[in-house]
Structure 1
Amino acid sequence: APAGAYGEWSGWMGALEESLLELIRQATTRLAGDVWTSLLDAYKNETDGSRSKAVLRWILENQVVASGEDLPLTPHTSSMHFSVEAPSNASRHDIVEAVHGAVAAATQQGLLEQYMVDPVTGKAIRNNVGVGMPQISFATEPGDALRVRLLVKGNGAEGAGSQSVLPDESISASNDLDGVRRAVLEALIQAQGRGCGPGLVGIGIGGDRASGMALAQQQLFRPIDDRNSTRALAQLEKQLLEDANSLGIGPLGLGGRATALSVKVGSESSPKESCYVSISYVGWTCRRQGIQLDAKGNITEWLYPRADRFELPPEPVRVQKKAPVEEPARQRPRTAREALLADARARAIRTVKTKPTSPKGAKKKVSKAAPKKANPKAPTATKKPAAPTPTPTPTPSAEAMPTKTDAPAKKSAPKKPASTAKKAAPAAKAPAKKKAAAEKPTAPKSTTPKGTEKKKATEKKKPATKQKSESPSPSSTPKKKAAKKKTKKG
């Protein structure tokens, strides 16, 4: 359109871009007043000393530092959504150009991280301005006011959104408001721990896939204290908020009460047979703000309440049951993040079961078992005394050796097996055995009863006597053979 075609809404590009840059600065470095108040309420409702309360205090400390030093709450910039309500005589082309210029300037100043790439080539988009990004939606409003709202979301929050179709038999959800409630709670359970909770939940009922997600996205622009004009939807919002905070997911998915800060529901017409349930989510870093501008591009009003000062509530004093342990003096007080890490380490040490290990070089203690009482009925095996050291035995003289004079000269005596020769040897070595027996040490007294010792002694002697009786003496066998030969000759 030619210059001046839009009347008083022309020649405002410089001021409009500066106002939009200030909108981005306020949205990325300071939480809106309603979000800050909800976080304070969630912090007060958590149990003292719990992990969830420590996480919420760290979130509050992060906001205090970011606002004091004019730093972004988080560097992640997955998507930016501008919702514009413009009069019919305002140039949409000028508004789009001003938005692109403000986003590029904010990226250069460090308020937004360079996060966008070309999905086809993978090339980085240096100023976060590309095809379809940032997203800008327009709505025509009567009057002379121009309103621009901004919502910046991270990648985790964007990925926590979902869409389902009712009826859904897998979760027993019918095509009614109770089915919507079941679908929303199932989506929160599946997304627990993602999206930097606690956060805001926007729900769109009906429409198609595209319009349903856009409707859910628009619910995130509603203030937390805004009440739905439809009575049934207002009751559904209240019930869903209570149910979400009873799941026990808690901040960052670590357990606790605060799972959602707000639940907002919108509806559109849908087919009779099915209904889409679209869910959009944004975490506690709800970088959301809005401005109203005049025809010259100057800010006339902030659409969301702003907190002038961010002050931390007093930290609760922990009541210690045991006597306090003296700690070394610290240069500064411990922050909530340090307390959270210390608590996590203490829990890990208590839960992990480690086996006690003895130090190197330490001798293991051997437990001495009590001596067992001998059972007189059961036979007990007596330990044999240790064999004494062998003593040199005197070799028998030639006179002591037995001679075979009785055997005939022509025919030699038949050779006997080694076993019989060994049996005959003890008779010749009798004097040597007596000397060795005299030198043997006395055997230790056995612990077995006397009766069992006598029985064993007799059992040992019996086979020896049999062997003596069965084995013939060396002198008797040749005489008998000689007598037999004489009888044959005679």
Structure 2
Amino acid sequence: MDIEPLIEDTALNLLKLAAIKLPEDVKEALKRAYSLETHPIGKLQLMNILENLKLAEEMNVPLCQDTGTISFYLRVGSNFRGLGKIEKALLRAVRKATREIPLRPNSVDFFTEENTGDNTGRYLPYINWEITDGEHLDITVLLKGGGSENACALRMLNPSDGLDGVKRFVIESIISAGGKPCPPTIIGIGLGGGADIAMALAKKALLKPLNEENPSKAVAKLESELYRAINMTGIGPMGLGGDITALAVKIEYAHRHPASYPVAVAFQCWAARKASARIYPNGEIEYLTHRMK
């Protein structure tokens, strides 16, 4: 069995799923937000968002005109055959998805401003590799629009600032962003490591299921406190005022240097477009985030 076409087809399916259909955890969070929202304008925005989800699925078109930049998060078993074929297969899938879905071309040269036209380019799509035990390959695709990306923030705090400093910086970032990242957002927070590690962790936190509590009591407590504080800002859906500014707060953390206290905040808009699948050695494919008919 040739594994390369299988990877390409799976990645293409994931890109289609991510662009057109939100995963169940995000759908349920949006429905819950609608039920909790008490401000008329905020409730209207959430009603429009839910209608948008319905129309995108019925018409088989992307949820948003900004289909974002593409990131792949891979967990590759050390015994997975065809390791060297994965990247080529992903690039072909992105080019095909851009034509077929279609996706808006969002890969522009930093200096010449020339658009490649197919969502590939220098370091794009971004591919994050994690090698694990086993023989299977997990692929997660994340589509992230410009509005949410432009709101991301990083600060190197002093260790003496502690968790109170973390909370202050996160809330400052939320207030500064306002309605630009298209709330209600999912907030990913990366703590520790270094500057690069913290932001990478914040982005990775956006992939966590919204309906699962963090197993660490300390992390779960901080997530809950920040969630409540963010929703007290009154920014509301689409920045027009309301009770629900964030759907969830998710944290990833790393150990840090004694003199460093990095904190990164990553925003994901209400259209939290992610999709995951697992490819087994026998060619079987299991979709992990979406119900397949």
Normalising by structure 1, we get a TM-score of 0.58
What is the aligned partner in structure 2 of residue 264 from structure 1?
250
Aligned partners of 2:157 and 2:165 also within 8 Å:
yes
The offset of 1:164, in angstroms, is 1.0
Question: In proportion to residue count, which structure has more strand?
Answer: 2
State yes or no: 1:28 paired with 2:25.
Answer: no
| Closer/same/farther in 2, CA of residues 47 and 279 from structure 1, 3 Å limit | same
What is the aligned partner in structure 2 of residue 233 from structure 1?
219
Q: Secondary structure at the match of 2:208?
A: coil
Q: Give CA deviations for 1:145-167 in whole Å, capped at 9, x if unaligned.
A: 21111110000011111001213
Q: Secondary structure at the match of 2:256?
A: coil
1:292-371 matches, cutoff 5 A: 292-295=278-281, 297-299=283-285, 301-306=286-291
Q: Give CA deviations for 1:80-128 in whole Å, capped at 9, x if unaligned.
A: 1110001113333211111101100010114311121212222220211
Based on CA coordinates, which of the two structures has the bigger radius of gyration?
1
What is the aligned partner in structure 2 of residue 219 from structure 1?
205
Q: Give CA deviations for 1:389-418 in whole Å, capped at 9, x if unaligned.
A: xxxxxxxxxxxxxxxxxxxxxxxxxxxxxx
Question: 1: CA distance between counterparts of 2:283 and 2:89?
Answer: 10
Q: Secondary structure at the match of 1:125?
A: coil
Aligned partner of 1:179 among 165, 180, 193: 165
Q: Secondary structure at the match of 1:276?
A: strand
Q: Secondary structure at the match of 1:206?
A: strand
State yes or no: 1:123 paired with 2:104.
Answer: no
- Could you list the runs of 4 or more consecutive aligned residues of structure 1 that deviate by over 6 angstroms after TM superposition? none
The offset of 1:27, in angstroms, is 0.8
The offset of 1:231, in angstroms, is 1.3
Aligned partners of 1:13 and 1:297 also within 8 Å:
no
Aligned partners of 1:180 and 1:277 also within 8 Å:
yes
What is the aligned partner in structure 2 of residue 284 from structure 1?
270
Question: 2: CA distance between counterparts of 1:251 and 1:293?
Answer: 37
1:56-67 matches, cutoff 5 A: 56-67=46-57
Aligned partners of 1:205 and 1:265 also within 8 Å:
yes
Question: 1: CA distance between counterparts of 2:292 and 2:171?
Answer: 32
What is the aligned partner in structure 2 of residue 409 from structure 1?
none
Q: CA RMSD in A?
A: 1.7
Q: Secondary structure at the match of 2:255?
A: coil
What is the aligned partner in structure 2 of residue 406 from structure 1?
none
Q: Give CA deviations for 1:29-66 in whole Å, capped at 9, x if unaligned.
A: 00110100010111011126x10000000001111000
Query: 2:76 is aligned with what amino acid?
Result: A
What is the aligned partner in structure 1 of residue 149 from structure 2?
158
State yes or no: 1:255 paired with 2:241.
Answer: yes
Query: 2:67 is aligned with what amino acid?
Result: T
Question: 2: CA distance between counterparts of 1:191 and 1:66?
Answer: 27
Question: 2: CA distance between counterparts of 1:19 and 1:274?
Answer: 41
Question: 1: CA distance between counterparts of 2:236 and 2:226?
Answer: 15
The offset of 1:247, in angstroms, is 0.8
Question: 2: CA distance between counterparts of 1:256 and 1:155?
Answer: 23
Q: Secondary structure at the match of 1:290?
A: strand
Q: Secondary structure at the match of 1:269?
A: strand
Question: 2: CA distance between counterparts of 1:104 and 1:69?
Answer: 22
Q: Give CA deviations for 1:291-318 in whole Å, capped at 9, x if unaligned.
A: 011225542x22225498xxxxxxxxxx
State yes or no: 1:201 paired with 2:187.
Answer: yes
1:89-128 matches, cutoff 5 A: 89-90=79-80, 91-128=82-119
Question: 2: CA distance between counterparts of 1:115 and 1:123?
Answer: 10
State yes or no: 1:133 paired with 2:124.
Answer: yes
The offset of 1:227, in angstroms, is 1.7
What is the aligned partner in structure 1 of residue 66 from structure 2?
76
The offset of 1:269, in angstroms, is 1.6
Q: Give CA deviations for 1:190-245 in whole Å, capped at 9, x if unaligned.
A: 11111111011110111111111111111011100122222111100011111111
State yes or no: 1:149 paired with 2:134.
Answer: no
Q: Secondary structure at the match of 1:124?
A: coil
Aligned partners of 1:15 and 1:298 also within 8 Å:
no
State yes or no: 1:190 paired with 2:180.
Answer: no
Query: 1:216 is aligned with what amino acid?
Result: A
User: Percent same amino acid among aligned pairs?
Assistant: 35
Aligned partners of 1:20 and 1:99 also within 8 Å:
yes
Normalising by structure 2, we get a TM-score of 0.95
Question: 2: CA distance between counterparts of 1:89 and 1:259?
Answer: 44
Question: 1: CA distance between counterparts of 2:12 and 2:84?
Answer: 17
| Higher RCO (CA 8 Å, separation ≥ 6 residues) | 2
What is the aligned partner in structure 2 of residue 53 from structure 1?
43
Aligned partner of 1:244 among 230, 237, 247: 230
Q: Give CA deviations for 1:427-453 in whole Å, capped at 9, x if unaligned.
A: xxxxxxxxxxxxxxxxxxxxxxxxxxx
Query: 2:167 is aligned with what amino acid?
Result: R
Query: 2:111 is aligned with what amino acid?
Result: V
Gaps of at least 5 residues in structure 2 are none
| Closer/same/farther in 2, CA of residues 56 and 307 from structure 1, 3 Å limit | farther
